[in-house]
Amino acid sequence: MINIYRHTGCLLILSVALALVPSSARAGEAAGPGFGALRGVTLDAGGQPLAMVRVAIHSTDGSTDHQVFSDADGVFAADHLTPGSYLITATKEGLISPPATAVEVAQNQTARPSLVLATVEPAPAATLAPAALEKELEAMKERIAVLEAALKARTAAEPPSATAAPSAKAAETAPAAPPAPPQPAPAPQAAPAIPEALQAPDSTPGVDNFTPFAYGDFTWLNGTPRNKDTVLDTKFFTPEIRFDTHFMEDFNQPKDHSMGGSTESFRSGEFQLEQVSVGGDFHWQNVRGRILTMFGMFATTTPRNDASAGVGQWDLRDAYRYISEAWGGYHFNVNHGLNVDAGIFVSYIGLFSYYNYDNWTYQPSFVSSNTPWFFNGLRIQWFPTNKLKIEPWIINGWQSYAKFNGHRGLGGQILYRPHEWLSLVFNNYGNGTDTLGNPGRSRIHTDDSVEVRYFNKPDNGSGISKMAFSFTADAGCEYGGGVTCHGGKAGPKQAFLGWMVYNRIWWNKDKYAITLGGGMMTNPGRYLTLLPPINGADAVSGSPYFTANPGDKAHMWDTTATFHWMPKQYITWWFEGGYRHSDVPYWSGRGGITPPGGNNGFPSQFVCNDGSPSLTSTGCGSVGLWTPDLRHGQAVIAAGVMVKF
């Protein structure tokens, strides 16, 4: 079921996708239609809402006629209206309808008219004959006398009031007051004004078959947040907040507590704050943007895997260290939407999300952990249908803040979800020369996944509610600059091949879940094998203790079991056990990976037992050479809590 493209196919697909993208376009992952809408209110003369008012909506060109009724709050709505001029009338039995109201409906805007219906005025009373008038006057006198007696009885024990009640005699002799002129109806009281941008977005009634992927519930997917609701949302801004704290225990018991070989596991035997992120999505009048900060361990561990910071001046790692995502763009009304965004955005290669909250497991396999988490550049998201996305990338390179050499990276994604239970994704990358200091070496990579939900009974009480699996396969290589994709006279084989598979079971209405899975990676050349942080080594410095030279091999496999307790959609408590193995010493052992006295500031050199650097492994003399303790296996148990609003 997995289609692994070769690099020629990759570039062909990207060329076709780019050629098909129109020159004019619109933004937002949830691409909105090119229609307008009405959200109005019907009121009485006192400004109170009127329910069950029939509202007729008629386009002036005669192409559209709608009839809707206002609800208990007086609100009426009409969606998917063709932009143009409309006449709106409101009718309700017993009330006077206002004149037809002219409203202009603009593309991607919501018009908000208010319709006021007046109360039917009673007919004027007929003139009374003198005898009838005398009789009415006598009755009024009797009523005044009764009220006066009641008032005297009530106030007998109280001091006299400053204003005495009129006596019957006074009422008898006083001339009749002329009838009061009719008073105009009070003007409707305006509701408190809330800027439209700060109001909650309009709900979409029924199934949304226009917005991409909105026709189904895809929160079951691996690598997708499971939140179905947003705590706070407005038409201008949708906030996002994440917290991720864990405790890990490495059975190798490294004395410096330092773990390696992962983008998720860093310290042993300690409580650590992996991620704190605050930000959200901005969206207004087709303009869009997103920012998500990055604090915690991620702020140090993610930038250290990017070697492009070693090119030229300016400290790009510090410039981007606390940014996870930051981009701005525009949404064009093309098909089901077309977005053009520029900045730092997450990579989809490897299926798992950058953020652990979104994933079925905490520690993913090598296909995910060793491939990029972010890209820096330009992306174009085109939605020909509500089930298909074609997304070309023009980026600096493979998880790089800067451009390594002369060629920038080109890539793209094809995402197809024909059914709610099936998701297919194909990611391809090429052209980039992504090896620091080697401008003649290029890279290609394909990453393809399928996710299938093969069981779904959400109302099954405490029983199994869902079952699903994901399968991902990756293949790639580097060529030129002394290496080849297949080996031979032109240079050693520099290739990557990996796969991972996971199966997940939910029960008790998705409150609990367990995931079993794992994968493997073969990497003759180690070009995607994460460098252990020996003596503070990173992707720029490299390390003589774990080289990544052509011909240096690395074959690894892993397996994990993960339990999730999800009492609310905003929180996950988790427990996980896993084992990873390498055919070369790779994982931190009991002696750790930190030199005596701590890091000496020269990670690219050997370290002597007195902490001094040495250019060769024999240059320490009688002091002796320090060697990190690296092992073939790593067993870890871990637990934590993750929150996402």
Instruction: Give, as one character, the DSSP assignment of residue 490.
Output: T
DSSP 200-229: PPPP--S--SSSTTTTS--TTSTTS----S
- In this structure, are residues 35 and 79 in contact, taking their beta carbons and an 8 Å threshold? yes
Q: What pLDDT was estimated at residue 584?
A: 96
Judge whether residue 314 has pLDDT over 60: yes
Judge whether residue 155 has pLDDT over 70: no
Q: What pLDDT was estimated at residue 596?
A: 92
Q: What pLDDT was estimated at residue 205?
A: 63
Q: Where are the beta strands (DSSP E) in 29-171?
A: 36-44, 54-59, 65-69, 75-81, 84-91, 95-96, 101-105, 110-111, 114-119
CB atoms within 10 A of CB 573: 13
Output the pTM of the full model. 0.71
User: Kind of pairing, strands 388-395 and 409-419?
Assistant: antiparallel
- In this structure, are residues 516 and 502 in contact, taking their beta carbons and an 8 Å threshold? yes
How far apart CA 412 and CA 570 sit, in angstroms, is: 31
Q: Given pLDDT bands bounded at 50, 70 and 90, which one contains residue 188?
A: low
Task: Residue 569: name the closest of 636, 479, 645 by CA.
Answer: 645
- In this structure, are residues 378 and 18 in contact, taking their beta carbons and an 8 Å threshold? no
- What is the mean predicted confidence (pLDDT) over 380-409? 96
Q: What pLDDT was estimated at residue 153?
A: 67
**Size of the chain in residues:** 645
Q: What tens digit of pLDDT does each residue of 232-290 get?
A: 899 899 999 999 999 999 999 999 999 999 999 999 999 999 999 999 999 999 999 99
Give the tokens for residue 61: 């060109």
Q: Which of 200-204, 346-350, 537-541, 585-589 has the lowest mean pLDDT?
A: 200-204
Give the domains, in start order, of the chain with CATH numbers.
Answer: 32-118 (2.60.40.10), 237-593+628-644 (2.40.160.10)
Task: Residue 42: name the closest of 79, 81, 85, 73 by CA.
Answer: 73
- What is the mean predicted confidence (pLDDT) over 408-420? 97
Task: Residue 40: name the closest of 8, 95, 80, 79 by CA.
Answer: 79
Q: What pLDDT was estimated at residue 163?
A: 40
- In this structure, are residues 629 and 589 in contact, taking their beta carbons and an 8 Å threshold? yes
- What is the mean predicted confidence (pLDDT) over 406-410? 95
Q: What pLDDT was estimated at residue 94?
A: 80
Give the tokens for residue 212: 């991409």
Using DSSP's 3-state secondary structure scheme, residue 131 falls into helix
DSSP 344-388: EEE--TTSS-SSGGGSS-SS--HHHHTS-SEEEEEEEEEEEETTE
Q: What pLDDT was estimated at residue 186?
A: 56
